[in-house]
Chain A
Amino acid sequence: MTAMSPGRRSLRRIRRRTGNSLLFVAIVAISVIAAFPLVWMLLSSLKTPAESMQTPPVWIPSTPSLTAYREVADVIDAARSFWNSAVIATVTTAGILVTSLMAGYAFAKYRFRGRDLLFAVLISTMFLPPIVVLIPLFRMVTYMGLDGHLFGVIVPYLANAFGIFLMRQFIAGVPDDLIDAARVDGASELRIVFSVVAPAVIPAIAALALFAFVYHWNTYLWPLTVLQGNTEDYPIVLSLGRLLSYNRGAMNTGLVMAGATLAVLPPLVLFVFLQRFFVDSIVSTGVKG
């Protein structure tokens, strides 16, 4: 290859620079399109009812007001719904953490007959859409007397395959010496799980907690089926559905958007502040398997 003349080199630099700015434009454009629905939601929640009904649509509310939020709080008892969502998401997450840590530890560190088969069978449930078991599960929960009750929403989901998988992946990397040392000190196996292994896999615990919390904050099908119109126990996602039927048509747009904004906030805030944990756990489990 001949040495490049100064002219060709600067041509290359220009080409790379235009390439970079093209990339930058693409990134900005995609970001704008991706963010647009949520921005529109926020803007619409601040409009007056008259503005929401205008054709062509008003983009920026002229006099932003929080009236819609006040109305939402009354119509669906938003505080109660938030509390229900928090209870469902927190208790379910706590259960998943405990069961996943224990099972993940056993699958990573114990040797027992049928271990790999049992693990494979459990993991296969990760690929099962909930609708496949919905009908008998609903009946079973009714047998247990838990239909129409928050416990009925929570109990079937206290363990899941993804949690076990994630924990096994991470606990496999905890040195055996650490565990053996604790055993020599006379620690029970349960104590080892929660005070030796758990502190060593904090990032995985954080990731699992966030995923579980967001998933069970957002989930709709199962609570809708179990709670059977017991609106007192409705989580925010179900109350949001009621909001739509409360006043059909364009009139309720501001109301619905304010409700949606409220429901979106907790998972979104959690994600934005803790996104490192989400992304790292996907990177380390998603494709290596």
Chain B
Amino acid sequence: MVSPAVALIGVFIFVPMVLTIWLSFHQWSTQTGFEAARFVGLRNYEDILGPISVGRDFKRAFLNTAIYTALSVVAILPLSVIFGLLVYQSRVAGGQFLRTILFSTYMVPMIAVALVWSKLYSPSEGPLNQILFWVGIGPQSWLSSPDTALYSIVILNVWQQVGYFTVLAIAGLTQIPSSLHEAARIDGANPVQEFFGVTLPLLRRTLLFSAVIAVINAVQVFEPVALITQGGPANSTNVLTFHIRRVGIERAQGGLGSAMAVMLMLSLIVVIVLIFSLARQKEERA
């Protein structure tokens, strides 16, 4: 009964995962068979962590991905809670409508999001600089300057993803027993105290889950970079998924690309373990 699923996931996920690790210790062209791989020990790792251009590019891509991921998570989580409260608590009309609008952006292909935002960001014909002009702010260079390009992609990512996390937050909010809210109010808590004393602590599991998913989604950023910026300007948007594919598939340096993929996997494990242990610490203190 489980064999079709186990066979498929085994062959198409676990086998390539083991191969990625194995290849990371080999020099191997992606255009040749696996048997052509030549063992080189840790040299791929020395290269990608070293001072030559391979290393510089990888470290830059790693840093860019880390910044992109951190900013995305830091923006998405609070927004999802605020929007979630708006939808969940408001007896006013429009709550459900807001949820529909927010979530629908998550359903849209990232490629379309990237294309549309590249036009929104257009310095002269784009509407964003026009709106900024109306409120008295000068034109921004958005995707065309190395100082702002990565942040611009963070914004479009937050726009696309926040609806999904809002629905997660609403799901978390519905599981908080209303008796706890009533008890807080009887004790004379104002809405702010109620939020920090009752709502937020009880949302911790939801936020933990959201943080992990947001990290995993963020490291997968690819379409806006591949299509719009090509990693530029000046490497400022070169992120890992784009970089690993460029090295491992387009330049066919399968060994190097695999070593980078292993580094990504290890870093993800570290980050996820950190998020969980942080949450556990807080739980013990509470």
| B residues in contact with A21, CB < 8 Å | 92
In contact, B241 and A221 (Cβ under 8 angstroms): yes
Within 8 A of A (CB), among B124-175: 124-127, 130, 133, 159, 163-164, 167-168, 170-172, 174-175
Cβ contacts A257-280/B at 8 Å (1 or 0 each) = 101100110011011100100110
Distance in angstroms between the alpha carbons of A287 and B174 in the assembled complex: 11
**B90 shortest CB reach to chain A, Å:** 5
Which B residues lie within 8 Å of A66 (CB)? Answer: none
The answer to whether A37 and B113 touch across the interface, beta carbons within 8 angstroms, is yes
Chain A residues contacting B220 (CB-CB under 8 Å) are: 129-131, 221
- A184 touches B (CB below 8 Å): no
Q: B86 touching A27 by the CB < 8 A rule?
A: yes
A-B contact pairs, 21 of them (CB 8 A): A27-B92, A30-B83, A37-B105, A37-B116, A38-B108, A40-B120, A56-B133, A57-B130, A127-B216, A129-B216, A131-B220, A131-B222, A131-B240, A132-B261, A135-B23, A136-B258, A138-B249, A244-B115, A263-B111, A283-B171, A286-B206
Q: Could you tell me if B9 and A161 are in contact, using CB atoms closer than 8 angstroms?
A: yes
B66 at the A interface (CB under 8 A): no
CA distance A99 to B12 in the complex (A): 14
B residues at A contact (CB < 8 Å) = 1-2, 4-6, 8-9, 12-17, 19-20, 23, 30, 33-34, 83, 86, 90-95, 97-105, 107-113, 115-117, 119-120, 122, 124-127, 130, 133, 159, 163-164, 167-168, 170-172, 174-175, 205-206, 209, 212, 216, 219-220, 222-223, 226-227, 240-241, 244-245, 248-249, 254, 257-258, 261-262, 264-265, 268, 272
Hey, which chain A residues are within 8 Å of B108, CB to CB? 38, 218, 264, 267-268
Is B111 a contact partner of A240 (Cβ separation < 8 A)?
A: yes
**Contact A34–B116 (Cβ < 8 Å):** no
Cα-based distance from A158 to B95 in the complex (angstroms): 37
Compute how far the CA of A134 lies from the CA of B104 in the bound complex, rounded to whole angstroms.
Answer: 29
Q: Which residues of chain A are near B216, meaning CB under 8 Å?
A: 127, 129
Minimum Cβ distance to chain B for residue A77 (Å): 17
For residue A256, CB closer than 8 A to chain B, the reply is yes
Known contacts A283-B170, A286-B206; 4 additional CB pairs below 8 A are A37-B120, A131-B240, A136-B15, A271-B107
Residues on the B chain within 8 Å of A100, using CB: 5
Q: Cβ of B264 and Cβ of A275 under 8 Å apart? A: no
- Establish whether residues B159 and A287, one from each chain, have CB atoms under 8 Å apart when the complex forms: no
Residue of A nearest to B102 (CB): A34
How many Å from the CB of B43 to the closest CB on chain A?
A: 17
Main secondary structure of the interface of B (DSSP, over half): helix
- Do B1 and A138 touch across chains, with their CB atoms under 8 A apart? no
Given A139-B34, A260-B116, A287-B205: A34 in contact with B163 (beta carbons within 8 A): yes
List CB contacts (< 8 Å) of A115-129 with chain B: 118, 122, 125, 127-129
Q: Assess whether A135 is in contact with B248, with CB atoms less than 8 Å apart.
A: yes
**List of B residues within 8 angstroms of A220 by Cβ:** 109-111, 222-223
With A102-B4, A253-B119 given, is the CB distance from A138 to B168 under 8 Å? Answer: no
Is there contact, CB below 8 Å, between B1 and A217? no
Q: Is A2 an interface residue (CB 8 A)?
A: no
Q: Which residue of A lies closest to B208 (CB)?
A: A287
Q: Which of the listed residues A107, A129, A244, A289 has the most CB atoms from chain B within 10 Å of its own CB?
A: A129
Tell me, yes or no, whether A247 is within 8 Å of chain B by CB: no
Once the chains are docked, how many angstroms separate the CA of A66 from the CA of B123? 26
- Which of B99, B122, B175, B254 has a CB less than 8 Å from the CB of A139? B254
B204 CB, nearest partner CB in chain A, Å? 11
Q: Contacts of B219 on A, CB cut-off 8 Å?
A: 129, 131
Question: Cα distance A257–B125 when bound, in Å?
Answer: 14
Chain B residues with CB under 8 Å of A23's CB are 86, 90, 92
Residues of A within 8 A of B86 (CB): 23, 26-27, 30
